[in-house]
Amino acid sequence: MREYSLDDEVDFLIIGTGAGGGTLAGRLAEMGFSVVALDAGAYFRPLDDFASDETEQEKLYWNDRRIVDGGTPLQMGGKNSGKAVGGSMVHFAMVSLRFRPEWFRSRSVLGYGADWPLDWREMWRYYREAELALAISGPVTYPWGPKRPRYPYRAHEINSAGRLLALGAEALGYQWTETPLATVSAPRGKSPPCVYRGFCRFGCSTNAKQSTLNTWIPRALAAGAEIRDLAMAGRIEVKGDRATGVHFHREGAWHFQRARNVVVAGYAVETPRLLLNSATSRHPHGLANRSGLVGKYFMTQSNQAVFGRMRDEVRWYKGPPSFTITEHWNYDDRKDFFGGYCWMAQGPLPIEWGFIQTGARGLWGEALRQDMLNYNHQVGLKMVGETLPDAANTVTLADEVDQYGLRIPRITFSWGENDRKLIGHAISEMTRSLEAIGAEDIFPQREDANHLAGTARMGFTPEDSVVDADCRSWDIPNLWVCDGSVFPTTGGVNPSLTIQAIALRTADRIKAMAGRGEL
């Protein structure tokens, strides 16, 4: 690996190496820019370091101090935040979906949320590039949305839980398909095909999973980027309206790395936190925050579910959890609420299943232990739903500090009325689907959320957003944000492919601007 000295003024210093930062680091390095990418997490070697174990793999999560409050405080940690080179994708569930085109114009076309300053046709090209980079395994024809080419790798065979989703969807008259997944169905480079061990959300110890960690990071290294792990960025230094570098903590001490451009890619909580923690007398409310929108419009996605029990043995612990999907309600607008959702097959491992039994049904005692014996007969459907952007949902700074002495984030969240309506619709639809396949003892899991977004939204003017379409901050021209926090709305599908597509577009835009001397 090439290494830069602290005095080298690198072209791009990227904070965070996940879906946004890792992808951008790879592309910018390949374009010939000098790149250093910091990550607070460790650089894991999956073959040696990853156990098949829910508890041990907590080492992949962001478990630094955070405070949650609001009407429905969010559960943070494994479900939504990673801390490792490769970011949250190291333990993501690999579902790789494109937005519905109208979502980029949801305000003007669908009447809610905010428009994106991006054109879906352009995004379609970058989605394709991201799908090729991760060798997504998926169906020959995808049933929803504008035509797209066939996926690079063939779809995986389907497990019992996935088969049951298909049966239920057919009974309801909805289309379903094999979920496009970022795990290979045939060998690719150093990746063997997926062996269906089912621990995907705890890190893939075989490297079949195609995450930032084993796609873009190796490409970044090969192109001369430096990946600096266990390096926590604490403050971005600015002089006037230019960023000059970043203070980071590594091996017990603070250091300062100089840079011509700084990119923040720490995801929807750590990104606003770092911008707010970097306030100066000239930027008293935090960097890139003249609009007052840093930390505002924090979003998650609804991740409620419905579970039931089959007479048959399902053994949902085998394989990626979400082999099949229906996006029916992302494309059918006959609803009395805004936004859409999809649902997917499920395969919680024992601890997570225990959380659901206690959390959703309040079971404990002998009732819990007896019910858990039916583990191999359970079946479930889980939604990924759109949450509307709401200025009252925020990430702000608390007065308490973390292990580095940095002020910690306070995450304030409540579901809105539209969110509740959407969730109610999804729960009743998923319930109908399980009833149609003869599941018994059906129950809903009414509280759950997953992916994060918002807090540094992109937009059209310095007043309505934190960054422009190129992820460049309006206030400080050499400060960029490239991660899930730039989303003005979340759409009803998992976000990582969109984050990667935005990063790929940003890299192209940076190259073009550099060529014109506009950086």
Partner 1 sequence: MNRRFPGYDVLTKRTGPSWNEATRQAVDLRLAVPREPRFFSMAEWAVLDRVSQRIIPQPPGRPPVPIAALIDAKMLRMGAAGTRIEPMPWDGDAWKLALAALEAEAVMRHGQGFAALDDRTADALLTAMQKGEPAGAPWQRVPPGLFFAKRLLPDIVEAYYGHPTAWSEIGFGGPASPRGYVRLDTNRHDPWEAAEAKSEGDLKAYRHNRHVA
Identify what 121 binds: partner 1, ligand SF4, ligand FAD, none; CB under 5 to 8 Å per kind.
none
| 54 near ligand SF4, rule: CB under 6 A | no
| 414 near partner 1, rule: CB under 8 A | no
Task: Give the count of residues interacting with ligand FAD (CB under 6 A).
Answer: 41
Identify what 20 binds: partner 1, ligand FAD, ligand SF4, none; CB under 5 to 8 Å per kind.
ligand FAD
Helix H or strand E encompassing 237: strand 232-239
| 171 near partner 1, rule: CB under 8 A | no
Q: Is the dihedral of CA 151, 203, 220, 15 positive or negative?
A: positive
Which residue's CB comes closest to ligand FAD?
18
* Choice from 83, 228, 309, 382 touching ligand FAD (CB under 6 A): 83
Token representation of residue 286: 């935090």
* Choice from 8, 9, 64, 170 touching partner 1 (CB under 8 A): 64
Q: Least Å distance between CB 197 and partner 1?
A: 4
* Choice from 29, 84, 204, 223 touching ligand SF4 (CB under 6 A): 204
Q: Are strands 305-309 and 440-445 parallel, antiparallel or unpaired?
A: antiparallel
* Choice from 13, 194, 453, 486 touching ligand SF4 (CB under 6 A): 194
| 313 near partner 1, rule: CB under 8 A | yes
* Choice from 21, 22, 272, 320 touching ligand SF4 (CB under 6 A): 320
Nearer to partner 1, 72 or 280 (CB): 72
Identify what 75 binds: ligand FAD, partner 1, ligand SF4, none; CB under 5 to 8 Å per kind.
partner 1
* Choice from 315, 407, 425, 432 touching partner 1 (CB under 8 A): 315
Q: Which range touches partner 1 (CB under 8 A), out of 7-15, 286-294, 356-364, 384-392? A: 356-364
Q: Least Å distance between CB 212 and ligand SF4?
A: 15
Identify what 320 binds: ligand SF4, partner 1, ligand FAD, none; CB under 5 to 8 Å per kind.
ligand SF4
Q: Least Å distance between CB 436 and ligand FAD?
A: 25
| Residue 13, beta-bridge partner list | 36, 262
* Choice from 109, 132, 140, 195 touching ligand SF4 (CB under 6 A): 195
Distances (CA, A) of 125 to 36, 149, 458, 494: 27, 11, 20, 18
CA torsion 213-216-218-221 (nearest 10°) is: -120
Alpha-carbon distance of 176 to 50, in angstroms, equals 33
* Choice from 110, 221, 230, 368 touching partner 1 (CB under 8 A): 368
From 86, 144, 31, select the one nearest 514 (Cα to Cα). 31
Contacts of the segment 63-68: beta carbons below 8 A, 24+ positions apart: 64/40, 64/402, 64/403, 64/408, 65/400, 65/401, 65/402, 65/403, 65/408, 66/269, 66/408, 66/409, 66/410, 66/411, 67/398, 67/400, 67/408, 67/409, 67/410, 67/411, 68/410, 68/411, 68/412, 68/413
Q: Answer for the pair 327, 493: CB distance below 8 angstroms, yes or no.
A: yes
Give the Cα-Cα-Cα angle 154, 158, 160 (nearest 5 degrees): 175
| 154 near partner 1, rule: CB under 8 A | no
| 80 near ligand FAD, rule: CB under 6 A | yes
| 424: exposed, middle or buried (Cβ count in 10 Å: 0-12, 13-18, 19+) | middle
Token representation of residue 176: 């379903």
| 404 near partner 1, rule: CB under 8 A | no
What residue ranges bind ligand FAD (CB under 6 A)? 15-21, 38-41, 78-80, 82-84, 87-89, 91-95, 201, 232-233, 265-267, 270, 274, 451, 483-484, 494-497, 499
